[in-house]
A and B are shown apart, each in its own frame.
Chain A
């Protein structure tokens, strides 16, 4: 049996290792995607005042710090009885929509767009955001940077900082929004609305206007028959900050819907000896392995999954975009994982519409943004939708408010099994007997997990910031061929 190993060696942030085992005829027999996980978080936080955790949690990740801050804040709210000032919920939600915008812009333009604008087989030297800018023009490139900066600025005006928030407190937030700050936000929201519409149009023109890309999305190997998970409000409309978790099978039937405090009754985590990262699955169905199908206990938690579980969007322009997307994709739920890139753009329209609503909300500049807790109830669960999936924080504390335990299921963890499976599926499709793999195939394999926008490391930064890849194929125990990138 031959082995292909994709194993980064030198890097500053988290990485994954892909090992592909080839059969004697050169076809892919099996594939393992191994994720090293950051260690010791549960031990690290025990013994600290639980109200400090939202400020610590933002340090888990430099890309999605607000997601951890929000989920943590909600868990801490629970530990102190659960009462939160209604205005604080609005402010937190408003911040979170701005946070979504800046993240989705970065992912779509820097990570997804190169594959579609330049092509998945394009030379790696140009298959990046610089290549995108060269093709679409400096003016558009400038718009991308400006839009992202505006989303960051809105976050700063609301929460005081753009990264590593120290804003949420038990019962509310530490800072409200004054009228001057709101007047600064309004014109930026208007520009972001135009940018969201522009981004959707760009997707229509470049991706949907290219039959090969449409074919790749709809009929390529990037599909999985597993279920979808996401947060919804009382009308089953998508919600990023609050609501119930809903799971829908790939035929559209609801499997379950639960409140955050019930999560442990519905989701369990399976451990494999070859991976540090666990594999969440639907508990009531039991672990059935890495299998697709209607009886599978596996699910995706992604932008596409969020739209799959939603009956509607809560805002009108996003609803139009939602309907257009599923109409084009042949109905919902959709199993085409590359459609995640489209789903992000639909979500961005919703994010902007919600910012518009909050800008017009007469209460948003109020001063009652915190309720001081009066009791310690000892346990709380906070669930939000991180950009890359449903994020759960569960804490317990003693009668003095000192943390006694913490459990997290981060967004990407939910997708661990699906990423595993689609990587194998793509590898099996592309690596054929007698055909020497090349860098294009490496990228096509990467596209499989890039659609999930995974955040494995939750490290903070990267200076070169690369995820070096090494693919090694072995036959009968000997190295047969090797591909490297970034090493």
Chain B
């Protein structure tokens, strides 16, 4: 997920662009490489899938740009409210979709990799120096748990 022309917000899209070459040996998954969408629109993308891996940016207080976190959608449960002023947030959209009978991955099957960023408010085609310098390291680090997730999925099949 991300915006390719909003500086560090491109990190998710850039990472998937690199990672997909390494993931060619795995099967039974689809890549949406450029997902610049909000809550309801995301539902329409993920409807019908059993598992979801999201790669995105995040900004928190006091963290170092380039650090990344892994968590599952269980962590989003607390955000089901009206805070987003022009779309439903992801957690709300997920819960709504499930209640309405859409076939959506369960929370523990939604795996989120979120990379700390510095700037998501400046229009630019390149990321900040901090993210660009660390980019290859992030690719290598995220690839390890990512392939484990996909390998587990392949084995289940």
Contact = CB atoms under 8 A, between A and B. Distances in A.
B6 A130 contact: no
Contacts of A152: 41, 44
A36 B81 contact: no
A264 interface: no
A128 B99 contact: no
Interface in A433-463: 443, 446, 449-450, 453-456, 459-463
Given A62-B38, A467-B85, 9 more contacts: A133-B96, A133-B100, A141-B96, A455-B85, A456-B85, A460-B3, A460-B6, A465-B91, A469-B83
A456 B2 CA distance: 17
A44 interface: yes
> Could you tell me the dominant secondary structure of chain A's interface residues?
loop
A163 interface: yes
Given A142-B100, A460-B6, A462-B87, A10 B59 contact: yes
Nearest to A162: B41
Nearest to A141: B100
A459 B79 CA distance: 19
A56 interface: yes
Interface stretch (B18-26, B121-129, B132-140): B121-129
Interface in B45-73: 54, 56-61
Interface of B: 1-6, 9, 34-44, 54, 56-61, 76, 79-92, 95-97, 99-102, 112, 114, 120-125
Interface residues of A, number: 62
8 contacts: A10-B61, A11-B59, A63-B86, A124-B81, A129-B88, A133-B96, A465-B38, A465-B88
Contact of B99 (A111, A133, A462): A133
A59 to B, nearest CB: 5
B87 A465 contact: yes
Contacts of B42: 461
Contacts of B89: 462-466
Nearest to A14: B121
Nearest to B40: A106
Contacts of B125: 44
B37 A111 contact: no
Interface string A129-159: 1100100001001100100110010000000
A378 interface: no
Given A162-B41, A464-B90, A467-B83, A41 B123 contact: yes
B119 to A, nearest CB: 9
Contact of B44 (A41, A149, A455, A468): A149
Closest 8 CB pairs of A and B: A465-B89, A466-B83, A460-B36, A44-B123, A465-B84, A464-B79, A460-B3, A467-B83
> Could you tell me the dominant secondary structure of chain B's interface residues?
loop
Contacts of A255: none
B36 A38 contact: no
Interface in A302-337: none
B104 to A, nearest CB: 12
A224 to B, nearest CB: 19
A167 to B, nearest CB: 16
A268 interface: no
Given A10-B59, A39-B123, A461 B1 contact: yes
A200 interface: no
A145 B90 contact: no
Contact of A460 (B2, B84, B88): B2
A153 to B, nearest CB: 9
A297 B125 CA distance: 38
A453 B6 contact: no
A346 B121 CA distance: 35
B123 A145 contact: no
Contact of B97 (A38, A41, A43, A145): A145
Nearest to B1: A461
A446 B4 CA distance: 31
B85 A110 contact: no
A463 B90 CA distance: 5
Contacts of A462: 38-39, 84, 87, 89-90
